[in-house]
Structure 1
Amino acid sequence: MKGLVLFLGLFFPDLHPFHSSVTEMIYNVKDQSWEISIRLFQDDLEQTISAATGKKFRMIPGDEAAEKTVEAYVRKHFGFRSGKQMTTPYRWLGTEPQQDAIWVYLEIPTTADLAGSYLENSLFLDEFEDQTNLVSWSSQGAKKSYLFRKTQEVQQLSR
Structure 2
Amino acid sequence: MVLLFFVLSASASLAHPYYVSICQIEYNRETHALEISLKVFADDLLLGLEKAGHKEVFLGEERENPNTDSHINEYVHSKLKFEVNGNPVEYKFIGKELEDDVVWSYFEISNVEELKTIDVQCTLLTEIHETQSNVIQVDKDKNIKNLLLGRRKTSGVLSFED
Map 1:73-112 to 2 at 5 A.
73-81=75-83, 89-112=90-113
Partner of 1:23: 23
- Aligned pair in 2 of structure 1 residues 63, 152: CA closer, same or farther (>3 Å)? same
Verify: 1:141 aligned to 2:136, yes or no: no
Do 1:137 and 1:143's aligned partners in 2 also have CA atoms closer than 8 Å? yes
**Partners of 1:54 and 1:138 in 2: CA distance:** 33
Partner of 1:121: 122
**Partners of 2:88 and 2:59 in 1: CA distance:** 25
Identity across the alignment (%): 23
Over residues 25-74 of structure 1, what are the superposed CA-to-partner deviations in whole Å (9 max), with x where a residue is unaligned?
A: 01111222111100010000111211231734432367431111111000
Q: Whose Rg is larger?
A: 1
Partner of 1:52: 52
Match of 1:66 among 60, 63, 68: 68
**Partners of 2:121 and 2:20 in 1: CA distance:** 15
* Cα offset, 1:156, TM superposition: 1.5
* Cα offset, 1:91, TM superposition: 1.6
Match of 1:117, SS state, is strand
Question: Which has a greater percent of helix?
Answer: 1
Match of 1:53, SS state, is coil
Partner of 2:157: 156
Do 1:47 and 1:57's aligned partners in 2 also have CA atoms closer than 8 Å? no
- Tell me which moved more, 122-131 or 58-67: 58-67
- Aligned pair in 2 of structure 1 residues 34, 14: CA closer, same or farther (>3 Å)? same
Query: How many residues were matched structurally?
Result: 145
* Cα offset, 1:18, TM superposition: 0.6
Partner of 2:14: 14
- Aligned pair in 2 of structure 1 residues 112, 42: CA closer, same or farther (>3 Å)? same
Match of 2:21, SS state, is strand
* Cα offset, 1:135, TM superposition: 0.8
Match of 2:112, SS state, is coil
Tell me the TM-score normalized by structure 1: 0.80
Partner of 2:40: 40
- Root mean square deviation of aligned Cα: 2.3
